[in-house]
């Protein structure tokens, strides 16, 4: 089945056909590095990480994700701290890289920095001036939006209406209020690069045009970012790039939805944001990732403790099942092992359609929420075989091996289920225990005491211990191999 993606430019789902068969060139706007990244950044980056991972299974993908390492906010922060701009940008590039690594993102093919492409930026600005799309004004250079006919085709607005609602301070040197800066003259004390228009630095949007053009060419397949970048950032990128090159810039524009807090957008200006660092102190990175993929990437996603806890419960259910089948070291035996019981037949059926259904979900505009539902269905079938038949049969063992392989395959695309199941469960347990007043050793000791009481049929004492532990959120699980415990 063919991959279909929602293209912001056409405002609908389209079949994905790369410009060059077999190859995909993809650019995603990274972060402006002036502070720690928050959950909204986590979502955008995880979403495009999954898109990249999925595309990789079918195409030779070149994935570029930039760092915008020169900008007003970086300069402001540097001034506040009394350091140079690059101290700030380097610090937060490291912080971003750390966050992304913890969230299990694969590295893009290329991670260029704006400041390393000043020459390319100047060349484009010059070309735009030569072609009459831009004009110098003082030490600034502006892009002339009226010269670019299809301006606002991505955000689907029109210039006149924009003016009516605009609250921007109009610079006298601009010919049209919506003209935007390609190059900004350096004020005293600001970092600068030499240019034909004097000392200055790039405007906000031009760096993405320069870097995408350099690494992916004048026309490429996919450009991504958060919904809030549609205007003005991506709109202006289109204007600059298409005016300079005289050809279509990007074929498919993909935009992810916001992370909300109480149904409101998480943002710096509202002050209602959580940094990735803070959240990872409380939740396992894989739980956060699982949560971010539990909704379709274009939908808004409400961030709350309850929702994170639910994601954690779901992920734990999957890992528990994987841990339960880990002890069966069955071999892959193909489809020819006859399934005996009804539960085995059900598992066989779920297993047979699994990868196809997963791909179908992902082919429909990267529907990760649906794909997780498919995983849960498989897991239930596994658990059923486990409880009803014990999972000892040759057929069951063979299917368990296939389940492990299938889940690993899905995990490779989604970037979850990548831990060894037992290790994951221990990790989660350890995280919960760390926040409690009881140590694991104390718990183990009480469990031993309870085992002795049970052996002596002293159920009153046995239950007393269990209730006591339960009051401390410790749940006991009696199994054939003895008693284990987990934190509620």
Partner RNA sequence: GGCGGCGUAGCCAAGUGGUAAGGCAGAGCUCUGCAAAAGCUCCAUUCAGCGGUUCAAAUCCGCUCGCCGCCUCCA
- Nearest one of 80, 82, 84, 81 to 69, comparing CA atoms: 84
Burial degree of 341 (CB within 10 A; 0-12, 13-18, 19+): middle
Q: In this complex, which beta carbon is closest to RNA, that of residue 60 or of residue 168?
A: 168
Tokens 């994170």 identify what position? 308
Strand duo 220-226 + 250-256: pairing? parallel
Q: How near is the Cβ of 3 to RNA at its closest, in Å?
A: 14
8 A C-beta contact, residue 124 and residue 240:
yes
Q: In this complex, which beta carbon is closest to RNA, that of residue 29 or of residue 103?
A: 29
The arrangement of strands across the sheet holding 180-185 comes to 134-137, 140-143, 180-185, 200-202
Q: How near is the Cβ of 68 to RNA at its closest, in Å?
A: 7
> Measured between alpha carbons, how far is 144 from 175 in angstroms, rounded to an integer?
7
Name, in order, each residue with C-beta under 8 angstroms of 194's C-beta and a sequence gap of 6 or more: none
Distances (CA, A) of 110 to 28, 31, 35, 197, 217: 11, 14, 22, 30, 14
Q: How near is the Cβ of 364 to RNA at its closest, in Å?
A: 6
Token pair of 384 as six digits: 């059923």
- What DSSP line would sit under 414-457, residue for residue? HT-S-S-HHHHHHHHHHHHHHTSSS-HHHHHHHHHHHHHHHHTT
Q: In this complex, which beta carbon is closest to RNA, that of residue 229 or of residue 395?
A: 229
Start-to-end C-alpha separation, the chain = 42
DSSP state of 483: E
* H/E element, 63: strand 60-65
Q: How near is the Cβ of 60 to RNA at its closest, in Å?
A: 25
Phi first, then psi, for residue 341 (nearest 5°) are -80, 170
Q: In this complex, which beta carbon is closest to RNA, that of residue 313 or of residue 332?
A: 313
Strand duo 134-137 + 23-28: pairing? unpaired
Q: In this complex, which beta carbon is closest to RNA, that of residue 124 or of residue 361?
A: 361
Q: How near is the Cβ of 459 to RNA at its closest, in Å?
A: 3
Q: How near is the Cβ of 22 to RNA at its closest, in Å?
A: 27
Q: How near is the Cβ of 307 to RNA at its closest, in Å?
A: 5
Phi first, then psi, for residue 457 (nearest 5°) are 55, 30
Q: In this complex, which beta carbon is closest to RNA, that of residue 77 or of residue 296?
A: 296
Q: How near is the Cβ of 360 to RNA at its closest, in Å?
A: 10
Q: How near is the Cβ of 345 to RNA at its closest, in Å?
A: 12
Q: How near is the Cβ of 130 to RNA at its closest, in Å?
A: 25
Q: In this complex, which beta carbon is closest to RNA, that of residue 233 or of residue 251?
A: 233
Q: In this complex, which beta carbon is closest to RNA, that of residue 135 or of residue 258?
A: 258
Give me the residues paired with residue 6 across strands: 13
Q: In this complex, which beta carbon is closest to RNA, that of residue 246 or of residue 479?
A: 479
Token pair of 343 as six digits: 């539960």
Q: In this complex, which beta carbon is closest to RNA, that of residue 21 or of residue 269?
A: 269
The arrangement of strands across the sheet holding 220-226 comes to 60-65, 23-28, 220-226, 250-256
Token pair of 188 as six digits: 């005293």
Q: In this complex, which beta carbon is closest to RNA, that of residue 40 or of residue 330?
A: 40
Name, in order, each residue with C-beta under 8 angstroms of 106's C-beta and a sequence gap of 6 or more: 49, 52, 53, 415
Q: How near is the Cβ of 281 to RNA at its closest, in Å?
A: 20
């Amino acid at each position: 089945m063919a991959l279909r993606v929602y293209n912001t430019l056409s405002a609908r789902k389209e079949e994905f056909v790369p410009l060059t068969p077999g190859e995909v060139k993809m650019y995603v706007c990274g972060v402006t590095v002036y502070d720690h990244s928050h959950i909204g950044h986590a979502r955008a980056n995880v979403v495009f990480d999954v898109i990249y991972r999925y595309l990789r299974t079918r195409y030779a993908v070149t994935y570029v994700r930039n760092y915008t390492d020169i900008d007003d906010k970086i300069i402001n922060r540097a001034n506040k701290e009394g350091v140079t701009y690059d101290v700030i940008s380097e610090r937060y590039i490291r912080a971003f890289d750390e966050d992304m690594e913890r969230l299990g993102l694969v590295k893009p093919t290329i991670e260029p920095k704006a400041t390393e492409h000043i020459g390319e930026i100047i060349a484009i600005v010059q070309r735009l001036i030569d072609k009459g799309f831009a004009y110098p004004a003082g030490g600034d250079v502006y892009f002339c939006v009226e010269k670019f006919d299809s301006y606002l085709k991505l955000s689907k607005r029109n210039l006149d209406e924009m003016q009516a609602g605009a609250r921007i301070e109009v610079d006298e040197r601009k010919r049209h209020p919506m003209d935007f800066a390609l190059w900004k003259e350096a004020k005293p004390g600001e970092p600068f690069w030499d240019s034909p228009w004097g000392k200055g630095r790039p405007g906000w949007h031009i760096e993405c045009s320069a870097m995408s053009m350099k690494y992916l060419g004048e026309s490429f397949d996919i450009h991504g970012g958060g919904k809030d970048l549609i205007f003005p950032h991506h709109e202006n990128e289109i204007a600059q790039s298409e005016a300079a090159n005289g050809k279509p810039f990007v074929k498919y524009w993909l935009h992810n939805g916001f992370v909300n807090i109480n149904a409101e957008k998480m943002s710096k200006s509202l002050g209602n944001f959580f940094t990735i660092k803070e959240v990872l102190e409380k939740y396992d990175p894989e739980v956060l990732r699982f949560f971010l993929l539990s909704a379709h990437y274009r939908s808004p996603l409400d961030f709350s403790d309850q929702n994170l806890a639910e994601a954690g419960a779901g992920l734990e259910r999957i890992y528990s099942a994987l841990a339960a089948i880990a002890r069966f070291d069955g071999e892959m035996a193909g489809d020819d092992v006859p399934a005996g019981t009804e539960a085995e037949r059900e598992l066989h059926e779920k297993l047979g359609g699994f990868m196809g259904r997963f791909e179908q979900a992902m082919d429909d505009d990267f529907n990760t929420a649906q794909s997780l539902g498919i995983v849960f269905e498989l897991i239930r079938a596994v658990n059923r075989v486990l409880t009803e038949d014990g999972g000892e049969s040759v057929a069951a063992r063979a299917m368990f091996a296939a389940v492990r392989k299938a889940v690993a395959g899905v995990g490779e695309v989604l970037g979850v289920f990548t831990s060894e199941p037992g290790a994951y469960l221990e990790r989660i347990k350890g995280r919960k225990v760390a926040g409690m007043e009881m140590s694991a050793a104390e718990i183990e000791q009480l469990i031993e005491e309870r085992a002795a009481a049970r052996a002596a049929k002293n159920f009153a004492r046995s239950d007393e211990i269990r209730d006591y532990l339960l009051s401390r959120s410790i749940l006991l699980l009696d199994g054939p191999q003895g008693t284990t415990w987990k934190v509620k």
